[in-house]
Amino acid sequence: MSINFTRKIIPLICAVTLCAAAAVAAEQESSESTESERNSITVIDLKHEYDLNPHTANYSSEAQILTGLYEGLFSYDPYTLEPVPALAESYKLSRNKLRWTFTLRENAAFSDGTPITAQTVKDSWITLLAPETHAPFASLLDCIEGAYEYRTGAAAAGSVAITVHDERTLSVALTAPAEHLNRILCHHAFAAVSPEPGIYSGAFVLDSYADDTLELVKNPQYWDAENVKLDAITVRQSDDTTENTYAFNIGKADWIASNADIASVIDKTAIRLSAEFATEYLFFKADRFPWNQAAFRNALLTAVPWEQLRAQALVPAETFIYPVSGYEMPAGLNDYFPDEAKLMLTRAKAEAGLQEADGVSVTLAVSDSPYMLSMAELLKTAWERIGVTVDVRKTPANRYLQSISGWNADLFVYTWIGDFADPLAFLELFRTGSTMGESAWSNAEYDTLLDSASKKTDYERFALLSRAEDVLLSDGVVIPISHPVALNVIDTAAIGGWYTNALDIHPLKYLFKQTTEPYVPNLVRADTLR
C-alpha cells in the first residue's frame, strides 16, 4: 500500500540540500495548511459492514458512528457519561415519578431542515417498538405503559403511553419509577429518526460510504452546529494493524479504535488502554432439553477449568457485571471440581428420568478466530472427561452475532458493553421477554427482583440487583470469562474532546483539533536550520 506521508514526517537535513529541504518544508506547510483549513480528522476502525439504522444497530463500532449521525432527547457527556440534554431542552418528573415530561428545543431540526417535534420523537419510538422492526434494544422501553404489549403483538400502537401535548412537549407514563430513564435515552436506539432515508438528526451527516470508507460532514441544520468544531470526519475500516499503526505514526490517521500494533506506535503516550464496562461470557440458549435445566448446566460449570479459561484475560471475570461503585458483587464462579461435576451430572440425569448410560451432548457455537477455537477446544476436552459429548461449530467472525438467533446450538460466546453505567444495563439481557438477549432463559424470582429494584433507590436498589445477579449465576446460565480492555490510539494533545471512559463511547460532536507539534523523535525540522 502506497502512503503519502508529507504531513508529519519531516526530511532529515543530512538527506537533502538546503534548497531541497526548504522546498520540501514549503510543500509540507502547504499540505498542512490545506488539511487544517478542512478541519477534519481520520479515524480507523474495525472492518465490517456497518448497520447505520439506529433502531437495529447492535455493534459498539456502529454506536460510535451513530453518536454523530443521530441524536435523541439526551446524549452522553464525553467525560462523565452522565446524560446531558440534547434534543430535550428540559424535562421534569411527576411527584410519584411515574410521568416524565420533556420539552424539545425550538430549533431542533433534521439535516433537510424539517423540524424535529414531539410527534417526531413519538413516531421514532413507536417504530422502534413495532414487532416487525426486531429492534434489539426495544425492551428497554418496557418501563413505559403499553410498550411491552405493543412490541410483543398483544396490543396496538395506540396503547403505548407516549403523549404529544404540543409541537415541543412530550410525556410518557411509566409502569414503575425508572430513575435511569434519561441514561437509557442517551442510546442511539432512542434517537429522532426521519422516515426518509439519508436524513439525520445529529451533528453530522453521512456524505458517502464506499470502499470501506465513511465520509461524515458537518450538519448545518443541527441545533448546536455553532459548537461543532469539525467540518468532516473520515472513518476508514481496516483490520491491518501494521498499516493502521503506520498511518497513525506518519499522521495519516488521528485515532485508531482498537486495531493497532501498540509495540510499533512511536508516541507511546497516545496509547489508551482502559477497562470497559463490559463482560465477555458464554451463555446457554435454554430452550431445549437438557440445557433448559439448571442441574445440567451447573454440572458443566463445575467442570470448567476456570484458570485456564481466563488465562489470557487482562481482567478476569468471575461475575457477570463489571464492578460498580456501591454495588456488592455476589460470589463468583470459580469452583473447578471434575469429580463432583460427574456426580452432579449423574444426579441430573436421574432427576430427569434418564439412565446413567444415556448420552448427553452439547453444541458449542463459536466464531472461527484462533482465540475462540482454542477456548472451544479447552471446554470440549474438559466436558468430555465427565461424559458429555461436545459438538463445536464455527462460522466467520463477521457473521457470528447475526447467526446466533437462528443457530441450532446450546452455548454461545458474547461480549456485552453496558449502555449506561448501571448493573441494570447487564441484567436486562436476561429479563423474561427482553429483546437484548438470546438465552430464552426465564426465571420468576429474577424478574421480581428487577421489578422490585425499580421501586427502590441507592443501596436498597443495588442490593436487589445483586440478588438478581446471584440468581443468574446460581442457575448456571452464564460462564463469565473476562472484562475486556479497550484499546485506542489517539494523541489527545492534538484531538480535544476525547476522554477515556468506561463505555468506550466518544460522542463525535465534541471532538476538535488542537494546535500541537507533531511527535517525531530524533528528527530535525528542515526550517530550523540557519
- Answer whether residue 83 shows pLDDT above 80: yes
pLDDT, mean of residues 207-214: 96
Long-range contact set of residues 97-102: C-beta below 8 Å, sequence gap at least 24: 97/174, 97/177, 97/178, 97/179, 98/173, 98/174, 98/176, 98/177, 99/171, 99/172, 99/173, 99/174, 100/171, 100/172, 100/174, 100/181, 101/165, 101/169, 101/170, 101/171, 102/73, 102/169, 102/170, 102/171
Q: Provide the residue count of the chain.
A: 530
Top-confidence range, 80-84, 383-387, 423-427, 524-528: 383-387
Confidence of residue 520 (pLDDT cuts 50, 70, 90): low
Confidence of residue 519 (pLDDT cuts 50, 70, 90): low
Confidence of residue 399 (pLDDT cuts 50, 70, 90): confident
Q: What is the pLDDT of residue 462?
A: 93
Measured CA to CA in angstroms, residue 471 lies from 54, 298, 450 at distances of: 32, 13, 11
Pull the grid cell for residue 445: 424470582
Confidence of residue 454 (pLDDT cuts 50, 70, 90): confident
3.40.50.1100, 3.10.105.10, 3.20.20.80, 1.10.10.10: CATH of 278-482: 3.10.105.10
Confidence of residue 24 (pLDDT cuts 50, 70, 90): very low
Mean pLDDT, the chain, whole residue set: 89
Confidence of residue 457 (pLDDT cuts 50, 70, 90): confident
Confidence of residue 96 (pLDDT cuts 50, 70, 90): very high
pLDDT, mean of residues 461-472: 96
Domain 204-274+485-513 and domain 278-482 have a common topology: no
- Answer whether residue 19 shows pLDDT above 60: no
pLDDT for 285-299, tens place per residue? Answer: 999 999 999 999 999
Cis peptide before 518 (omega within 30 of 0): no
Confidence of residue 180 (pLDDT cuts 50, 70, 90): confident
Q: Which amino acid is it at 135? A: A
- Answer whether residue 9 shows pLDDT above 60: no
- The partner residues of 411 in beta bridges, in order of sequence, read 284, 364
360-367: strand order across its sheet? 388-395, 360-367, 411-417, 278-284, 478-482
- Answer whether residue 199 shows pLDDT above 80: yes
Between residues 76 and 402, the one the model is more confident about: 76
Confidence of residue 420 (pLDDT cuts 50, 70, 90): confident
Exposed / middle / buried, residue 212 (Cβ in 10 Å: 0-12, 13-18, 19+): middle
- Answer whether residue 181 shows pLDDT above 70: yes
Q: Is the Cα dihedral 147, 151, 152, 157 positive or negative? A: positive
The full set of domain ranges for the chain reads: 71-192, 204-274+485-513, 278-482
3.40.1000.10, 3.40.109.10, 3.40.190.10, 3.30.110.30: CATH of 204-274+485-513: 3.40.190.10
- Cα distance between residue 495 and residue 254, in whole Å: 8
Q: What is the pLDDT of residue 522?
A: 52
- Answer whether residue 529 shows pLDDT above 60: no
Confidence of residue 402 (pLDDT cuts 50, 70, 90): confident
Q: What is the pLDDT of residue 26?
A: 39
From the centroid of its chain, how far is CA 147? 24
- Strands 485-490 and 360-367 come out as unpaired
H or E stretch covering 101 = strand 99-104
Confidence of residue 530 (pLDDT cuts 50, 70, 90): very low
- Answer whether residue 5 shows pLDDT above 90: no
Work out the number of other CB atoms within 10 angstroms of the CB of residue 63: 19
- Please provide the CATH number assigned to the domain covering 71-192: 3.90.76.10
The percent of residues above 70 in pLDDT, for the chain, comes to: 90
- Cα distance between residue 112 and residue 188, in whole Å: 20
**Among 501, 491, 417, 505, CA closest to 68:** 505
**Which one-letter DSSP state was computed for residue 84?**
E
Helix pair 294-302, 338-351: axis angle to 10 deg: 170
- Cα distance between residue 354 and residue 320, in whole Å: 32
In the numeric block, the cell 506521508 is attached to 5
- Answer whether residue 258 shows pLDDT above 90: no
Q: What is the pLDDT of residue 474?
A: 97
